[in-house]
Chain A
Amino acid sequence: MASRDEAKKLGLTDLEYDEILKILGREPNYLELTLYSVMWSEHCSYKNSKVVLKRLPTEGPQVLQGPGENAGIVDIGENLAIVMKVESHNHPSAVEPYQGAATGAGGVIRDIFAMGARPIALLNSLRFGSLDNPRAKFLFKGAVAGIGDYGNVIGIPTIGGEVYFDDAYKENPLVNAMCVGIIRHDKIVRGKAAGIGNSVMVVGAATGRDGMHGASFASGELSDDNPDQGSPMQVGDPFKEKQLMEACLELLEKEWVIGVQDMGAAGVVSSTCETAARAGSGIELDVALVHQRDENMKPYEIMISESQERMLVIVEKGHEDDVKQIFKKWGLEAEKFGTVTDDGMLRILENGKVVGEVPAKSLAEGVPIVKRESKRPSYLDNLTVDISKLPEPDDLNEVLLKLFDLPNIASKAYVYNQFDQTAGTDTVVSPGSDAAVLRIKGSKKGIAVSIDGNGYYCYLDPYEGGKQVVAEAARNLVVTGAKPLALTDGLNFGNPEKPEVYYQFEECIKGISEASKDLGIPVISGNVSFYNEGKESTVYPTPIIGMVGVLEDVNKHCTMEFKKSGDLVVLLGENTDEIGGSVYLKEILNIVGGPAPRLNLDDELNVQKCCLKAIELGLVNSAHDVSDGGLAVALAECCIAGKLGFEGEIEADIRPDVLLFGEGQSRIILSLSEENFEALNQLSKEMNVKLSVLGKVKPDIINVRIRRNGSVAGEINVSLGKITEVSKNAIKRRVENVR
C-alpha cells in the first residue's frame, strides 16, 4: 500500500490523498496512486482552471461538439464541419525544442483524426526570448525546425501562425500548435467506451519508457533541481503518425467502430478512464497485452507512458482481426488489451492477475476542484503614461524603419518558408496575410483560419487584453471575407498558485468570454498550460486564440496587399490618441506601460460587419487590419505585400507619432477603385462606422503626411524597396549572422 508520503512525492496534496481514501474506502497501492497523480495533475484535470473556464460561452447553433472531447466541431453547412483544437507543448520545448515542438504538433493532429476528420491544416503560435539571447535563438531554431519537419513529413500544410519575441519568454518559451480538420456530419466519431463486452485495443507505436510523468512535468515550474522527474521527453515519428492517421481514417469508415481517443498526456490511463467516463462504463485491461518496446516495464509505467503515435480504439466484439488487418496494411500493430465492462471500474491486470482497481470516473473527473486565491498585481497600478512628457521623434522615417527591423513587426517569411504551406492543394491564401484561406474541394465554400495572441496587452490589462485577442482573431478572418464561426483557446499562464497569476488568468478569461459572447463566436475546444515560469521570469499572461470562419464563395476572398496604382485607400474605424501598449512605446521609447488600447465591442462588431459586407459586395480590392505597430505599419504592410507604394495626407488633432504608431483598436484599411467609394461611404453610414480617406496607392514610395491644425506636423517618406529589405532581413540576420 502507498502512504501519504508517497502521495506527496508524486505531487498529490493532503486534500487529494484524503479524497482518494474516500473514493476507494481503503489505501491505494502504488500503481493506483500513480494513476491518480497523473490524472489529477493540472495538465490532465484542469483542477485550477475549471471553475473559471465555466464562464466561456461554448454554445451556438453552429456548434456540433463543444469542449470535453478530443477536439471541437463546428458546422459550416452542406453537411460539412470543421474540427479544430489548439494545444501547448511549452515545457518539453523548453528542454528539447525540436522534439518538444514536433510532438506538440503530433498530439494535436491525433486529436483531430480521433474525431474521424482528415487534418487539412496546421497553425502555430510561438514565443521566445529576445533573439539577442543565444539560448532563445537555439530554442527558436529548434522549435521551428521541429514543428516544421513534423508537419512537412506528414504532409499537412502549415498555413498560418505567429512568432513573438520578448524576454518574458526567455526561460519558458511558448509553443502552441493548432490543427484543423474537415469531416462530414455523419462521420463524426466520439471518444466513448460504450457497449458491454466490446473490445479495447491499443494501435500504433509500441509503448516504451519515454515521456514518463509528462503530464506532471507540465504541471510544475521548470527547474534544474527536480531529479526525480525521470524522462518526461517524448520523441516524435511523423512517418509513423502518417501511417497511423491513414489507418485510423480507414478504420473510422467502419460502422463497427465505437470510439477512438488519442493516447496523449498520461497515455493508456487517460485514454481508458476518459472514454469509460464519457460512456458511464468501465474497462478491464491487461497491461501485459500492450505491445512494448522496453523490457520489464512495470504496470504503472505502461499505464502512464507517453510514447507517441498511439491511439485507443474501441470496437464491437468480434472485429479485432478486422482492425489488425487494416493496421497491418499500414505497417502498424493493433492489440486487444481490454474489454468494456458495466461496473464503472478501471481494472488493471498483469498476466490475468488484478494489480489495481479504481472507479474510472473518479480518475477522469473526480479531482477536488481548487478555487485559487486571486489578487490584483501591484504593477498594474503603475502603468500610466503621460503622452505630453514623451519625447517626440525628429525623424519619423527612422522610427518606421526601426519598427520594421524588429522581429516582432518584420516579415516572418524566415519562419513560414520552412513550413510546407501548399501540400493538399487547398491553400488559397498562404502565410504572411492576416489569415489563411483554404478552399474545400467539391464545394464553393472556403474557410479562413487565424491564430493570434497578445501577451503584452494582457500583461498591461488582462481583461482588455483578453477581449482584444478575440477581436483581433475575428478581424483577421473578416478582412479575408470570412464570417467568424468558432474559436479554440490556448491559455498560457504562470503558476496559478500565485494569486497575481491567478488574477491575470481570471481577468483574461473574463475578457475572452465577453468578446466571444458579444461577437457570437463560441469556444469549442482549448487547452490550459500553467506553470510557465523559470527561476527569473514568468511569461506574460498569454491566451492564444485560434479561430475559423467560413466564406460562402471562396472566389470572393479578399487579401491585404494593395492591388492597383491609383486605388483609393480608406480607413474603417477611428484613429485614437492611445499610445499605451504599443510596440512603438515599448521598443522605440523603451517604456513598458500605458494602459493597453481600449476595445469597444459594439464598435468592433460594426467595423467587422461593414468590412464583411464591403467584401461580399465586391466593393474593395484589399483589406488589412491595423494591429501591432499601428496605422503606419499596417499601411506599409499593404504596400510591401502588393509591391506598390502609398501617398496620402491625414488630418487629425493627434500627435503625429501617436497617430502613426498608436495601436487603437477596431480599424481596418481598405483599398478600392474610386468609382466604388460612394457605395462604400453609404454602407459605412448605414452601419454606423466612421470612414475616412487616407490617400491613394502609388508606385515605389510610402509617403504619409500628418496635418494638424492646418499645417504639416509630421511626414513619412521612405522608399518601398528599402523598407521591404529591412523587413525581410530582420529575423534572418539575427538568427544566422551572429554566432
Chain B
Amino acid sequence: MKCAVIQFAGSSGDSDCYHVCKNILEKPVEYVFYKESFAPEDFDLIILPGGASHGDYLRPGALAARSKVMKSVIDAAKAKKFVLGIGNGFQILLEAGLLPGAVLINKDLKFFSNDVFVRVENTDTPFTSLFKKGEMIRLTLACKYGNYYADTDTIKCLKADNRIVFTYCGENGNTFESNPTGSLENIAGIVNPAGNVLGLMPHPERCAEELLGNTDGLRIFESIVRYIERGKTHGIS
C-alpha cells in the first residue's frame, strides 16, 4: 500500500503523519503539495493533516478545500480510495463536502489542548476494526474550531446510518461527563456513507508511540492498513 500526506499552505501536522506512516507503520509515503494533483490509483490512503491551513482565514478549511489538490482527493474518494482527515483535515473534508456538517468555534471560545477520552461508537469501519465497540480510548485534542454542528436531519441521518464513529466522553465512558468542544451529539469523528472517508478532530498521529505516552491512536492507522492490505471490498459491511 502507498500513503499520501497532503501539504496545504499552513499544514503543520503533515510531518507528524508522514513520520507515523514511514517510521511507525513502515509504509511507503509521499508528500503532495496543495498546488499539485494526483491520480486516484497513485495512493491507497490519503491523509489530510492538521494545522491551520491558510491560517484558518475565512473559515478553517474553507480555502484549502478549494485548492487544486482537493479535486484529486475528491476523485480518489469517489474511486473508493481511503481518505483520513485529522483536525484541520477534518474541517477541510467538511468544507469540501466529502463529509456533512460544519465546525464552530469551541463552546468556551478558546483553543483547547489536552488529552481527551473518546468512545469508539462504530467498529464496522475500515478505520476502527481493531477496536471493541464502545471502547474508551485516549486521544490528543488541539483545536479552536472543533465544535461539530449540523442540521437536525443530517444528525438524524448520521445516527440512523451509524456514521458517528467517535464521541467525546468522560473518564467513566459517559458522554454526558465531557464534551470539550461543545459538539452536537458529542461528535468527535464521522465517516461518509461509503465508509472510505473518515474525519476526526483529535489527533491519532500524536498518540502512536510508547515514548509519547499513548498508543491508542496508532490502532486507527493499523486498522486501515490491515484493511487495505487484506484487500477487502470497500465500504461498511
Contacts and interface: CB of A to CB of B under 8 A. Distances in A.
Contacts of B111: 145, 148-149, 152, 418-420
Given A420-B142, A554-B211, A237 B55 contact: yes
A417 B55 contact: no
B144 interface: yes
Interface in A408-431: 413, 416-425, 427-428
Contact of B112 (A239, A417, A422, A554): A417
Interface string A321-332: 000000001110
Given A145-B110, A152-B142, A419-B113, A428 B16 contact: no
Given A422-B206, A425-B205, A155 B13 contact: yes
Contact of B113 (A237, A329, A418, A428): A418
A502 B181 CA distance: 49
A281 B12 CA distance: 38
Given A239-B55, A242-B12, A425 B113 contact: no
A421 B112 CA distance: 10
A239 B206 contact: no
Nearest to A421: B113
Interface string A153-175: 11110000000000000000000
Contacts of B20: 425
B211 A428 contact: yes
Contact of A155 (B19, B51, B54, B140): B51
A153 B142 contact: no
Chain B binding surface, main DSSP class: mixed
A416 B112 CA distance: 9
Contacts of A330: 9
A417 B114 contact: yes
A413 to B, nearest CB: 8
A145 B11 CA distance: 20
A152 B211 contact: no
Contacts of B142: 152, 420-423
B135 to A, nearest CB: 22
A9 interface: no
A423 B55 CA distance: 16
B21 interface: no
A510 interface: no
Contacts of B208: 425
Contacts of B203: 422
Tier of interface size on chain A = 20 to 34
Given A145-B110, A153-B56, A243 B206 contact: no
A534 interface: no
B15 interface: yes
Interface string B187-202: 0000000000000000
A239 B212 contact: no
Tier of interface size on chain B = 20 to 34
Given A153-B52, A243-B10, A554-B211, A422 B140 contact: yes
Interface in B104-161: 110-114, 140, 142, 144
Contacts of B54: 239
A331 B20 CA distance: 28
Contacts of A565: none
Interface string A341-358: 000000000000000000
Contacts of B11: 155
Contacts of A419: 111, 113
A318 B117 CA distance: 56
Given A419-B111, A421-B113, A554-B211, A239 B13 contact: no
Contacts of A154: 12, 52
A231 interface: no
B57 interface: yes
Contact of B16 (A149, A423, A439): A423
Contacts of A240: 55
B16 A153 contact: no
B212 A155 contact: no
Contacts of A152: 52, 111, 113, 142, 144
A681 B175 CA distance: 49
Interface in B10-64: 10-13, 15-16, 19-20, 23, 35, 50-52, 54-57
Contacts of B205: 425
Interface string A392-421: 000000000000000000000100111111
A330 B35 CA distance: 10
A153 B206 CA distance: 17
Nearest to A424: B16
Given A330-B9, A417-B114, A155 B52 contact: yes
B10 A153 contact: yes
A400 to B, nearest CB: 26
B203 to A, nearest CB: 7
Contacts of B12: 154-156, 242, 423-424
Contacts of A688: none
9 contacts: A155-B51, A239-B55, A242-B9, A418-B112, A420-B113, A421-B113, A423-B12, A425-B205, A425-B209
Interface of B: 9-13, 15-16, 19-20, 23, 35, 50-52, 54-57, 110-114, 140, 142, 144, 203, 205-206, 208-209, 211-213
The 3 nearest A-B residue pairs measured at CB: A155-B12, A239-B55, A153-B52
